[in-house]
Structure formats: structure tokens, C-alpha cells
Structure 1
Amino acid sequence: MATVDIPVALATDLSKHATTPATHGQVTQVTTEISPSDPIIKQLTIEEKVQLLSGRNFVSTAGVARLGIPPLKLVDTVNGVKGSDLHNGTSTLCFPSTACLGATWNRELLTRMGKKLAAQAKSKSAQVILGPSMNMHRDPRGGRNFEFFSEDPLLTGELGAALVNAIQSEGVGACPKHFVGNECETKRRIQDVTESLDGRTMREIYLAAFQVMLRNSDPMALMTAYNKVDGVYCSENIPLIQDVLRGDWGYKGCVMSDWYGTNSETAALKAGLDLEMPGPSVFRGASLVKNVQNGTVDEKLVDQRLANVLRLIERTAESHSTEPEKSLNDESGNCLAKEIGTEGIVLLQNRKSVLPLQITQKLAVIGSAATTPPISGGGSASAPPQYLQRPIDSIKALHSHPEFVTGSEGVKVHATIPICAEDQIFARNGEHGVDVSYFNDRIEMPITEEFQKIPQVVMLGRIKPGLKAEGFHYEMSTTLIPTTTGLHTIGIHATGSFLLTVNGKEVLSETVSGITVEDFLFKPERLEVRCQVEMKAGMPYFLKLVVQPHKPASMTGEPLVHGAKLCYIEEYSDCNAISEAVAVAEHADATIIFAGRNSEYESEGFDLPEITLPANQVKMIKKVAAASRRSVLILHCGNPIDVRDFIDDVDAIICAHFLGQEGGNALAEILYGKVNPSGKLAVTWPKKLEDTPSYQSFPATETARGWEISCGEGIGLGYRHNWVNSPQFAFGFGLSYTSFELSSLKVTRSNTAASVGDNEIIVEVELSNTGPVSGAEVVQVYVEDVASSVTRPSRELKAFEKTHLEPQTSETIRFFIKDKYAFSYWDEETRCWRAEAGEFKIHVGDLVAQIHLEQGFSWKGL
């Protein structure tokens, strides 16, 4: 790999910066060399200083070549490290979604994953991975929940720290996000989370996840959220960045904005926002240079921000490279992705011990996700996989008689018309794809032409060389060959005005205006325009799409986006699809039904309106289950699903999350019992949406003051809520093919610490595998304050450990929990953590013991 030389002033010994997995509850610190008075800063001109404080393009920062300061490349994300191109990027190893990572409850597994992510980042010549996401599963309608670990801050913080430490142990920076309060996608760029940073809700839930993560790791960077908290944008929130993050927690790393999440010049600088992303800069360009030169902005303030950026460059010195991006094939990484999938899959129901399946049974596999699995939710966490593992192929591969496995596509699961299948379109050269020509207005000859396999054009913040910004258009053409005869649907997603012709006849035209980058990237329904065309199977149809780019009414600072996508779906009937699926199921010993959601339903940029499945999926599940001797339902989702309509119809239910590129193999191994399921829910599944504690307070709503969202449930998030109706599946729930028992609970106190808050409770419990097969169990320790002076949840997770045991074996599990973490709550009056003397209970799994904490104490910060 070609590396970039770092100047002597920056080339400090990276070994002192490397982070290693810390003991649970232990702070990992780094020493730093660069300060605002460092010689390297004195050598920079004000223009160079300012350019180092913002992005140069969508993924990179500027460097200063004359001083040997390299640029930084920052890429998404922990589920798959993407390269520079957002839509046709270099493929990468795609791991399961973060919600699945949360369900593993396994720090060691995520440690191994972090090292693989660092290698993938280096293959993309990137220095910083934008993740993990540390926000909470607050409401089951949250569009981005699949990208978050859990509803619990301790579980989130410790798993996040494991990833951060492992990524950074390989010389690549991690950038946890979104600090703080970005649990709702509705109007996320302008919404105000109307909660005090010194209130219990923020301190015990939303800030706590970041606090736990920082207690156990030292991320090189941290990303602020789009939203406001208590009336102030996070990117310019002095109490948030200076008082809490820098002051209370002592964080020394680089603080950057979310993409286009900077809202000011001076306010963001003063608050402590070091890096504005992406570029070209909106707030840190010529205006800031001028304001420094005329004394409006103190140059020392710029130097302070710059020191943190240079420190990030220094700490990632090992990963700086000028090599072109490549797709790194990693067989052991693929195996790890499968292992994570098997450990995160949650067995929710297994009546009559239907699972594991037998490799000699006749199996029916129903549902489109069996052949086109949803490997991720939508948005920035979605990455191009190196391959797609089809579950039906994996199920056949492990079967003793593959011919005994038959399939049916079932009902369609699309929220919008899908992009046209590559194998149905042909470019002029005879290959599958489209031809695209770019023209300057009033000139007949194209400026440039290109062949593309995917029927999509994207120009974000730039246009093709040679095109005139004030006047151009482009044309996409291809020959489409339908596989069936019928009234088929063509959909166009375009920014601007377009005209679509089929065999020379105009069939659709529209002007799509008011489209933002957010809409283009995350809200396809805002762009979609569709029409129906009668077509015959096997006949060629020449499609030509002419697009005139849109002209925004005003410039917002975001880049202009020009794009078009050709979408297509053939006519079909839900009734016919279900009838076909029923016919296949009737002849099988067991039926595997795939259902749930995909990236069209769960995505960055918008929230779900409900948690029920579409009516056609529910109808299919019930009809197929009724026709089946035994039925197994596979649910793909990042959020809970209301299963009341069909839970009694099926024998087994599996929560499969979004499983990445090895998902098919992971599912097959669980189905056949090659691997024993050990996933535990990291989020509560309610029976119905109305049972959710945040139901009345989600999503953001428009008020006289603007878009606002409050945490009406307070600290009663998820399992902390006093449920009127018991949940469908509780936090921490997950079945196994074996059985476990907990016994011999022992709780003692250690009083040897120099500080009273650092004394520990020691919890010991014996875990036994009493069943017939090997498996893993998660031992969970909860604390209950029996008689608190303030309202507290009946149980709070304080420790956990995942342990694998062979059948008929036992192991003693020990937990060491500091008093100040075990028993404290946030005191809003004194604005510090406080623990009262009194009676507490320790809950370990299903066992309950009692312990007395006789001494009260209070403290501030970590």
C-alpha cells in the first residue's frame, strides 16, 4: 500500500494513541501532542487553517501539501465500509445491521468485527469510519432504529466501545454518532428535542449511552446530531459540547458535524465544532477568513479547533494512503459476518419444537426475501455488498436432497416501484444496462456518452465535465424485454422536468420541483412518478428518458443534486401469488415463510407510520400457515413488528434483522440447528403500537415555535416503562435449542477503593447448560432501588455477559460493578449523580437476591 508521509510535527508515536479493549467500566485515555500553540499551526496561513476546518468534497477534507498535511477520508459505516461514490461505489464486506449486533450481546464478537472494518476502511484508503450509531431505540417507528444497538444505554455504550476500540487498534479512526437526541427522523434537521441536558431523561438515557462508550473507549472523533436540544442546534450547543462532553467527560477528540449539519460560522466555532462536513464549505470559507482578518473572529479560536483536526490526522497516520479504492475479499471476514448473524438472530417462538428442521424434510420456501434478501435498511448505512447470499440457495445447500426444497415468490413487498432489473434491459452494445448521453442546451451532439449497468444517473454537487451549469440536459435509453404479458408499471425518479417515451410514443412527463438532497437520498416516494403500459412477453420496447435538471428557487448551501432512475415492475395479482404459495406449501413437511420489511420501509430520512405488516403480507402468512403441516416465519426488520394477526397461526417465529451479505448462510445454519440460536432482543417488542411508552410523544410535530419533539415517557423508555399490558416479547428475550439454569447467586461488597464511589459490588452466579446441545446464554444483571426518594424504573441493566457452554456443563460468571454506576440516579437539583442509602435488589436472570447499600454519596462527572 502506498502511504502518505506525515510531517515530523505530526508524526508522533501512534502506539500511545492506540486503544485496546478496556475492562468494563474503565476509562481509556490518550495523551496528545498537538495544541493551539504547536509549531505546525504557526506555519499555516489563515486561509490554510480555515480550509482544514471543513470538507473538500463529500467524503474528504482538505490537506496542505506544502507542509505535508494529508487530507482525511471519512466514510460510512460499521455495517459496510463504503467508498467515495454514494450510488455505484466499490463493493465491500457487508455485516449485519447494528440492531442485529445489539442482539448478540457479545463484546468479543464485535471486537473481531471492528478489526475487519478497519481493514475494509484501509482498502478504501479511508482514515475514519463514521460510526457506530449510539442513539436509542426510543420508538418502534424510528426509521433509523436498524442502525442503532438497543433501547438500553449500557448495552449500547459497551458494544459501541468494543467496536471503537477494535477499529482504532488498527490505526483507523472511529466516529460515534449522533450526539445527541437523533432518535426521530421526521424533520430531523430542524426539530427541537425539548429536553434539558441536566434533566434525568437526557442524562440517564440519551447522554448515558455516549457516556458509557467514552468510559470504555476513546474515539478519535465524534459526530454531532442535526437536531436541536433545548432550543440550540447540537453543532453549536455550548452546554452540550463544552460543558458535558469536554468538561464533565474530559473528551479530547475531534468533534465534527453531520453532513450539512452545521448551521453557523461563529456560534459553531465557539461551541467547539472542529470540523464542518462535507465540502465545499458553507460556513468556513472566505467569509470566515475575512472575519478573522478584520478581528470579528479571534484567530485563537480557529487554532483551538484546528488543533483537534490535526490531532485526528496524526492519530490516523497509519492508515493514510493514496492507493485507489478496491474491494477487499476477506474469507475470514465473511465467516465472521455469518457468525455475527447467527448470534444476533433471535428465536421468538418455537411451538412443538418445530425447529431445528431436519435435512430430510420436504421444505417449501415462500416469500421474495428468500431470493432477494434485504441485507440492510436504507440510507447511509446501506453499502454495496460483494455478493448476495440467497437464503433459498443456502437452505438447499445444507439439505441432504436439495430437490426436496421448492420455492414461491409470494406477494410483492415494495413501497415504491423497484429499480428496473438489470437482466431485462439491453444497451446498444447488447449488454445488460442503459446508454446515457449528456448535452449542453441547443447543441445537438452530446458532450459525453456512457454505458451503465444500473439504470440510474447521479450528479451530486457536480456535473459531468464539459456541461454548462446554466443549461444542460441528459438522456437515458435502453431496450426493455418483459417476461410476462400485462399492464406493467414504469416509475421514474427524477429531479427536474422529464419526458419518457416507449417505442417513440410519449407515455409520461412531469416537473418535479422542490427536491432536496435529503429527499433525493432517502425519500424516493417524493420523486416517484409512474404510469402503466400494456406490454407483451418477449417483445422489445425501446425506452427513452429525457431529463431537464431542476433549478432551485433559492440556494441553501447544500449541493445541487441531479439524478434520474428508471424503475419497473410487471403486473401481478396478490391473490394469484398467494394461491401459488399455498399450493407449494401443501406438499411440504414444513414451510418457511419470509416476510417483514426492507430498506423501502426502514430507512434514514423518514419514520414508519405504523408497526403492522402490509395487509398482503399478513394475508399470505395466514393462508400459507393454514395450508402447512408445520410453519416457520422469518421476519426481516430493524424494528419490532405487531405480530398479533398471525402469531397463533405459525409454529415458529424468527427475528432475522437485516443480515448483510452472509445472511442466507446464517439463517440456514440456525434453521437446521447447525448453530444454536443465542440472540436476545435488545429492544422491547410491544403487543401493539399504542402500548409503547413514547406513543403519544412521537414523531416530531409542528408547533407555533417550529418542529418539536419531547420525551414524554421520561426515563420510562422500553423495559424501564411500567407496562400496563405485558409486552409481546420482553427486552433480553430469546429462545434456544437447549436449556440453561442459573443457581448459587452470591452478592458481596468490595470496600478497598480509595474513592467511595469506586467501591464495587461483586455478583457471582453459576450458569449451567442442562440441555442436549451446546449453546450460549446471556447472563443479565439488573438493579432495583426498592425505596427511592425519586421515581426509578423497577429494573435497570447494570452488567451482562455472554457465555458458551457445552451440554451438561457449568461455569461461574462474575461481575464487578462500581457502586456509582450500580445505584446512582441523576439529581436534577444538584446537577450531579447521586446514590441514596437504602435497600436494593439484584436481579440476575430469573433469580432475585437482596443487598443493602448503607452509605449514600454524590459526585459530579465520571
Structure 2
Amino acid sequence: MTNSKSEIGSYVAKLEELTLAEKVSLLSGSDFMRTTSVPRVGIPSIKLVDSINGVKGSEVHAGVPTAIFPSSTCYGSTWNRDLMHKLGVGLAAQAKLKSAQAVLGPTINIHRDPRGGRNFECFSEDPLLSGQLGAAIVNGLQQEGVSSCPKHFVCNDSEFQRRWYNVTETQNSRAAREIYMAAFQELLRHSSPFALMISYNKLDGIYTTEHPFLKDILRDEWHYSKCLLSDWYATRSCEQSVKAGTDLEMPGPSVFRGKRLLETVKKGLVDESIIDERAAAVLGLLDDTRDSYADAPEKVVEDPSANELIRKVASEGIVLLKNQNDVLPLNPVGQSKLAVIGMHAVQPAICGGGSASAAPQYLQQPLECLKESLSDPSQVTYTLGVSVNRLVPPVPLVQSRADNGEPGFDVRYYSLDHKGPVAVDHVRNPAVNMVRQLIPGLEEGKFYFEISTKLTPKFAGEHVLAVRVTGAFELFLDDELVLSSPQYEVSMENFLFEPFLLERRVQVPMREVRPYAVKLVMQNRIAAPGDYEPNPHGACLCFQEFTDDEQAIADAVSVAASSDTTIIYAGRTSEYESEGYDLADMALPGLQASMIKAVAAASKRTVLVLYCGNPVDLSEFVDDVDAIILAHYPGQEGGRAVTDVILGEVNPSGKLATTWRKKLDEQHVPSFNSFSARLTDEGYTVDYTEGIKVGYRAPNTAEVALFPFGFGLSYTSFTYSNLNIDEVDDSNVSARVTVENTGDGAGYEVVQLYITPPADSSVWRPARELKGFDKVWLEVGESKQVEIELVKKYACSFWDESSCKWKMESGVYGVVVGDLAGQFTVASELMWTGV
């Protein structure tokens, strides 16, 4: 069903028809993904779904498959606004397939530290790049009538204790204004998102959902007038959050609003006029998305144009980090044998974990994509390499048998009030997830269930059985109890995003290759007193056969030694980089580093393909491999995109949006000693001890960077000439530079413009800051003049903490583009506020 503006009029105009109770009902969700409708006056609900890396439906687990786009770190590395606008249009089409009116993203929080668990879902360490690329996605989505909801405002740049930690910055510190808020400020200069999501954390001791900056900065200073909604369960109060400016509490049913808010208004603690303001913002979101309203069932459609777009974004975001002796692009005709090594060649990590992840429509194996691109696929030899699993995988379907003799699992649900099961399911996935509702016949606190199958190992050995559970359980192997536990502390956050905290495992001898009866019995989870979030009941039956990593390395070395070129597919997975937790270090999981070094020593030529969102420690082997391709998490078309770059069908053009440092220590990473949250007498605390010295802004970046911000190689070469700086007027500057393709192949070049501060600046300022960029396509021998326009006050100002205003000092400012430099003059000082 679709309603046009002429059919329904303005939803905001319906405000005067609503009762107080109905207005209050609009200020909180009705369920996990929808706002509250008021059928009496024809007000529907809004469906809000995750995310810009893959628009999924309303199911948290095992939802309807969707087109999986690359991770946002890949978006950042494209440096391409036009492509990001097209991406937004493509995402809108995916949202409509899910009957959704709002997409929760983009995430434009800053890459403060390489251990940030959710960095893969953000663009960059730089606020200008983050804000401008994010704005392009917003504009593309909203052009199609689907709301974008950028997040998380603000300073929510790590995952550990993200719901509780306090960032010890004021809203008017340089760090908050020049780095963390600046990404949102830049986004609002170039787009007008229909909604913004407020973060979980505190800033200067106040939860963001009830912080004065919602009014002081977003509303009054930046004149943002659209809907402000909380992150899921981020609302912490009734009266305070409403008065501060949080329009919508998500999800529903309401915890802090609803009846509680209605009583608060009746007692005179909140004026009804404030309720009207909040309700008008929610109704305004309905008005903004009315042309995309639908209530049809969610569906999956494989759209060739969407797949082409995914492949294009992945291709432009892939970064060539090293290419010694022009090993790439690979000429398979001259290579009699190719060795392919690594789990990622057959099980690629296409996205990170958490709310940004979703079920893909299909999965391309890079190994098969490579073989399909060769005239003689038999020249490829593959070996798995070392394990990278953090979790024990679910029992494979092909190794299972249900009671009916078919591959699969039997699930039986029991009520304590009845004899025998109240329901029996035959499923193909050994998991149960009941998050917001139980199956019919079950009652909270009075049930248990069983998952059972006949499991046949591929070979005899000491294997591992495991479970991921939310309640007390018993695990049986051939009717023998092999593992059990009472209920342990499990939160909704753990259930959704931290499966390793739910996992318990046991080593079991399986002496024969035969069917073994495996049964998991799990009791219902008992919610803790005062726990207002949904009570999750989940279980997964898992199995991993014995693996010998030392033998795996020996096999990889043997294959590499007998080949002309070795391609290693390595990196992290969604089990390591995810919403809900941070990384402990920069290392590759498992023994991958040892394997890469050993293989490189045996191989004539070694190409390393890396799957990750964050920088990884390459120090152990960076000098040993010949080429390094950063694939990010490249989405469901990643197999072909990576192959295109390896074989030269695509000339790599991605540039790093985040500095890759040589190692993780105090010298190399400015935030090393203050990441992530620390437990203090005041609770969990995050201190921005590095201030504005984030990423490439740090003073020692040139010495400690392995690959600097903005770096990325190409199969061709470019030269810069004729940099001209024209002061258009007192407020604007134009920089023009000629870029020529002097190499052997056509390709993109990213022109990056940095500003350097006056020598006599009154405060410390970074040696350079990105203030403009453009991406241009050049044929062989072609040259183009690229013009980048600057507004002086945006390009030259810093945040003055004493006056709480932006300050542009007079003086001579430098301009750096490539290896060229110029300058311009600011004649007089300017103090200003606003977007």
C-alpha cells in the first residue's frame, strides 16, 4: 500500500486531532523496529531497519536475505561522493523490499583507535571525509523517499561498556567539536537527514539522550529540526529525556515513556506543549517518508543492477597497499601454477558483526571466482591453511540427521504444565532464538526445549562439541552427560552481539566415523530483577573437528613451494570485528601471521589479500610478501571485485581513510593508554587524553605510519602540476591543479587537498588537515584540471574553548595537493557559530 501526499495530507496537521494519550504513545516504539500507530486518525507506524551495509528486515536473527554491500571502511576508501549518492539510491530500493521507511545509518563515528570493534561500520578517522561521504548516502536514500538516520550522536567510538561509559569531555572542548561532533556538522552542511540517532554513552557525566547539547547545539546552533531518536534502549529517563529533546524512545514497548510519561504530564512535571513538539517531530518523519510507506511482506529480490553497484563500490574501495616489482596485476598466462591458501578463499568475510550484518542473497567464493576467470582452472591448487574461528561453528547440516532420516535437527518444546512436547520442529539450522515472543504453548519461566540430531564426524579424533546458550543446560553425547551449567549472567546485549560469552565447549573422543546422538536440553532464561529489556531465549548446537595448525602451515608451504605465484586470503571475520565489543589488539587471528611468513619464504611471488575493517599488525611479514590488497569486508560481490583487481580488470583506486600504524603501543597509537573505557570510582570512563591528535593529526604520524592516511597504489601513475590558489573574495578560495595520467592504464586518481596553519597560530594545530577532495577518471595520457573550492571559515578555523565559538585567525595558510604547495591569506579574524 502506498499513500501519496494528496491522499493523506500532512501527518503533522493531525496533531490537533490527537488526545494526550495518543500524542504520548507516538513518543516510543510499538515493537523492536516500529513506531506506534494511531489508527483512529489514520497515522501508521514507521518501520526502521538496519543498515547501510545491508538493509535487513525486522528479524534480529535469520531474517529475509538481502543484498550485502561492503563495509563502511570500504565506502570511506572510495573517496567518491557521486558513488556514495548512487549507493544511497540503491539502498533505498533495498529498504522498499523490506517495506521500511527509515534506514538506521550511516554510522559516522570516528576511528579513534584501531581496536574499535565497530570501526568497520564507520568511514574514517577524519570528520570531513566521514561527513561528506555520509551526506552523499543520506541524499541518495532520501531522494527516493526513504529516511536516513545517521548515528550515533556523539562520542560513541568504542564498544566496551558503550551503554554506560562517560566521555570526560565537555560539549565545548576542542576534541568534541573539532573531531567527534565535526563529522555530524559536516554531514549537516551537505544533507538534511530526516532523523538522527542519539548514542548510549554519557558526555561530561550526562547521558546523551538527556544532554543539553540536543537543544544547544543540534537545535539552536545547527538549526536541525528533524526527529531525534534514541539508540535501542539508550533512553534512561522519562521527564529528563523528553525535556532535553529526545523525540522518540526506541524500541518498544516503552520503558520510560507510555503510561509513565502520561502521568508525568498530568502531574504538571512536563508541559503538554513539549509533548506536542516531540510528537510533531515524529509525525514529521512520517511526512518525510510518506511516499515510501508500505506494509507488504518482506521479500528478497536479486537485482542485477544492485549487484553491479555492490561490485563497483567494492572495486573502488579496495586499496592496493604494496606492489613490489609490479607483481600485480597477475598475468595468468605466464603463470603455470597458482597456489591459493586460506579460509577466506572459500569462506570470505563479507561484513562485520552486529546490527550491520545480515543474511546475504548469495556468497561468492574468491577461489571459484579466480578459477572462473582463468582459461585453465586446473592451474590452481588450494589448501585451507590455519583456522581463524573464534567460535565453534554450528553443526554442519550435511553431517546431521534428524529423526525423519533427513539432514537436519529436531527441536522439541516442553511446558512444565504439560506432559510431552507442546511443539516439535524439524529445522535445518541447529539454533533456537526467541527474543520478543515465545512459541504458542510456552509461558515465561515455565518451559525448556531440546535440540537433537545424529552427528557423523568426517574422521575419528578428539573433536569439540559446544553450545551457545542463554540459560541452564545439559549436553548429551550418546545419552552420556558431557557438559552442563547453571544459568550464568547473560544480557540482551550479550545475546545479540557477544556470542562468545554464551559459548561453552567440551572436547569429546569420537573413535569411529558413525552417527552419534547429540542432544542439548536448555532451560528458559530467568530474567534478573529490574531487567527491562526483552528476555532472550537462545541456543545453538556447535561442532568442530580436530584441526592441526602446524600441519596446515606445512601443507601451505608445500603448495606454495611448487607454484609460481601464491595468493593468500587472510584476515578477520565478524567474530572479531563487531558491534558489542572491542578488539584486544591489532593481530591477525590465530596463526595466520606465522603461516604468511612461512609461505612467503617458500613462494616465488606472494600476494596477500586482507579482509578486515580495522588496521592489522603486518610487522611480522610486511617485508616478506610482494603485494598486499586490502579488501575490507567487500559484500556479496566481493569475490569478483577482488579477482578483478588481482587480474587487472579493475585498476585499484582506493585510498586509506584511516592511518595504518606499524604497531600497537604508546608511541604509535595516540589513544593507546586511554582506550577503551576504564573502571573508576565514578564508573566506566573514557578520557580523550590525545585531544585532537587523532589519526594523521598526531604530530609523529610520518614516523609511525606503515601506510598513511590517503595512501593507495595504482597500476598506473599520475603527476600533478600548475597548482593555482585564487582568493575569490574575503570568504572563499579556489584551488586548481592539473592531474595527468602518465602511466600505461586508465584509472581513477583521488585529489586530496590539505590546509596547513599559520606559523604564529595561538594554539597547537595539526600540521595538516584534509579540507577538500575529488576523484577523477583519466585515460592514458589524459590530463584534467581539478578545482576544489574552499570556504575560508570552514577550512581555517579551530574551536576556541574560551569563547565557545569557532575562531579563524588572520595569517598565511598553506595548501598542499600531492607534492605541490601553495598559500593564501586570511586578512582578519572571525568568530562564528552555526553549521
Is the Cα contact below 8 Å between 1:513 and 1:550 reproduced in 2? Answer: no
284-293 or 649-658: bigger deviation = 284-293
Describe the superposition over 1:89-140 as per-residue Cα deviations: whole angstroms up to 9, x where unpaired: 0000000000110000011111111111001101001000000001000000
Aligned pairs for 1:665-676 (under 5 A) are: 665-676=640-651
CA distance in 2, matches of 1:425, 1:381: 30
327-336 or 611-620: bigger deviation = 611-620
Describe the superposition over 1:669-701 as per-residue Cα deviations: whole angstroms up to 9, x where unpaired: 000001000000000011111111111211110
Work out whether 1:760 is the aligned partner of 2:732.
yes
AA at the equivalent of 1:403:
S
Deviation at 1:452, TM superposition (A): 2.0
Deviation at 1:816, TM superposition (A): 0.9
Aligned pairs for 1:79-98 (under 5 A) are: 79-98=53-72
Deviation at 1:4, TM superposition (A): 5.1
**Aligned residue in 1 for 2:49:** 75
**Aligned residue in 1 for 2:261:** 288
Give structure 1 regions of 4+ aligned residues with deviation exceeding 4 angstroms.
Answer: 4-8
**Aligned residue in 2 for 1:620:** 595
Deviation at 1:851, TM superposition (A): 2.2
Describe the superposition over 1:149-187 as per-residue Cα deviations: whole angstroms up to 9, x where unpaired: 000000000000000000000010000000000001111
Work out whether 1:278 is the aligned partner of 2:264.
no
Deviation at 1:480, TM superposition (A): 1.4
**Aligned residue in 2 for 1:793:** 766
Describe the superposition over 1:785-833 as per-residue Cα deviations: whole angstroms up to 9, x where unpaired: 1321111001000000011111111000001111111111111111111
The structure 2 residue matched to 1:378, chosen from 345, 353, 356, is 353
> Tell me, what secondary structure is at the counterpart of 2:591?
helix
Is the Cα contact below 8 Å between 1:775 and 1:804 reproduced in 2? Answer: yes
Deviation at 1:352, TM superposition (A): 1.3
498-507 or 534-543: bigger deviation = 534-543
Equivalent residue pairs, number: 829
Aligned pairs for 1:490-639 (under 5 A) are: 490-536=465-511, 538-614=513-589, 616-639=591-614
Is the Cα contact below 8 Å between 1:7 and 1:68 reproduced in 2? Answer: no
**Aligned residue in 2 for 1:20:** none
**Aligned residue in 2 for 1:741:** 719
> Tell me, what secondary structure is at the counterpart of 1:646?
coil
> Tell me, what secondary structure is at the counterpart of 2:136?
helix
Describe the superposition over 1:527-583 as per-residue Cα deviations: whole angstroms up to 9, x where unpaired: 111011122564111211111012123122111111001111100101111111112
**Aligned residue in 2 for 1:714:** 691
Deviation at 1:470, TM superposition (A): 3.0
CA distance in 2, matches of 1:253, 1:719: 33
**Aligned residue in 2 for 1:407:** 382
Work out whether 1:117 is the aligned partner of 2:116.
no
AA at the equivalent of 1:96:
P
The structure 2 residue matched to 1:425, chosen from 400, 408, 415, is 400
Deviation at 1:442, TM superposition (A): 4.5
AA at the equivalent of 2:820:
L
The structure 2 residue matched to 1:341, chosen from 291, 308, 314, is 314
**Aligned residue in 2 for 1:56:** 30
CA distance in 2, matches of 1:174, 1:430: 48
Is the Cα contact below 8 Å between 1:425 and 1:433 reproduced in 2? Answer: yes
AA at the equivalent of 1:283:
F
Alpha-carbon RMSD? 1.3
CA distance in 2, matches of 1:566, 1:92: 25
Deviation at 1:657, TM superposition (A): 0.6
**Aligned residue in 2 for 1:197:** 171
Deviation at 1:329, TM superposition (A): 1.4
AA at the equivalent of 1:723:
N
Please report the TM-score for the alignment, with normalisation by the length of structure 1: 0.95
> Tell me, what secondary structure is at the counterpart of 1:496?
coil
> Tell me, what secondary structure is at the counterpart of 1:552?
coil
**Aligned residue in 2 for 1:782:** 754
Aligned pairs for 1:450-529 (under 5 A) are: 450-529=425-504
Work out whether 1:186 is the aligned partner of 2:165.
no
AA at the equivalent of 1:828:
E
Identity of aligned residues (%): 49
Deviation at 1:300, TM superposition (A): 1.5
AA at the equivalent of 1:726:
V
CA distance in 2, matches of 1:538, 1:845: 63
Is the Cα contact below 8 Å between 1:78 and 1:129 reproduced in 2? Answer: yes
AA at the equivalent of 1:70:
P
CA distance in 1, matches of 2:107, 2:409: 37
CA distance in 1, matches of 2:24, 2:445: 30
Work out whether 1:353 is the aligned partner of 2:351.
no
Is the Cα contact below 8 Å between 1:841 and 1:851 reproduced in 2? Answer: yes
**Aligned residue in 2 for 1:704:** 681
**Aligned residue in 2 for 1:693:** 670
Is the Cα contact below 8 Å between 2:167 and 2:202 reproduced in 1? Answer: yes
**Aligned residue in 2 for 1:30:** none
CA distance in 2, matches of 1:323, 1:150: 36
> Tell me, what secondary structure is at the counterpart of 1:473?
strand
- In structure 1, stretches of 5+ residues that fail to align are 13-32
The structure 2 residue matched to 1:145, chosen from 119, 129, 150, is 119
**Aligned residue in 2 for 1:18:** none
AA at the equivalent of 1:779:
V
CA distance in 2, matches of 1:762, 1:156: 22
Is the Cα contact below 8 Å between 1:419 and 1:568 reproduced in 2? Answer: yes
AA at the equivalent of 1:749:
E
Is the Cα contact below 8 Å between 1:56 and 1:279 reproduced in 2? Answer: yes
CA distance in 2, matches of 1:798, 1:826: 16
Deviation at 1:849, TM superposition (A): 1.6
**Aligned residue in 2 for 1:29:** none
The structure 2 residue matched to 1:227, chosen from 201, 204, 218, is 201
CA distance in 1, matches of 2:513, 2:215: 65
Deviation at 1:291, TM superposition (A): 2.1
AA at the equivalent of 2:444:
A
Deviation at 1:6, TM superposition (A): 7.1
**Aligned residue in 1 for 2:828:** 855
Is the Cα contact below 8 Å between 2:112 and 2:695 reproduced in 1? Answer: yes
Is the Cα contact below 8 Å between 1:456 and 1:563 reproduced in 2? Answer: yes
Is the Cα contact below 8 Å between 2:243 and 2:270 reproduced in 1? Answer: no
844-853 or 157-166: bigger deviation = 844-853
Query: Structure 1 residues 772, 314: closer, same or farther in 2, change over 3 A?
Result: same
Work out whether 1:809 is the aligned partner of 2:782.
yes
851-860 or 553-562: bigger deviation = 851-860
Is the Cα contact below 8 Å between 1:93 and 1:120 reproduced in 2? Answer: yes
Work out whether 1:268 is the aligned partner of 2:241.
yes
CA distance in 1, matches of 2:412, 2:749: 58
CA distance in 2, matches of 1:145, 1:740: 31
AA at the equivalent of 1:709:
V
Deviation at 1:502, TM superposition (A): 1.5
Is the Cα contact below 8 Å between 1:514 and 1:552 reproduced in 2? Answer: no
Work out whether 1:314 is the aligned partner of 2:287.
yes
Is the Cα contact below 8 Å between 1:4 and 1:322 reproduced in 2? Answer: no
> Tell me, what secondary structure is at the counterpart of 2:152?
coil
> Tell me, what secondary structure is at the counterpart of 2:133?
helix
- In structure 2, stretches of 5+ residues that fail to align are none
Is the Cα contact below 8 Å between 2:387 and 2:590 reproduced in 1? Answer: no
> Tell me, what secondary structure is at the counterpart of 2:707?
coil
Work out whether 1:169 is the aligned partner of 2:143.
yes
CA distance in 1, matches of 2:532, 2:3: 32
AA at the equivalent of 1:390:
Q
The structure 2 residue matched to 1:243, chosen from 194, 207, 216, is 216
AA at the equivalent of 1:203:
R
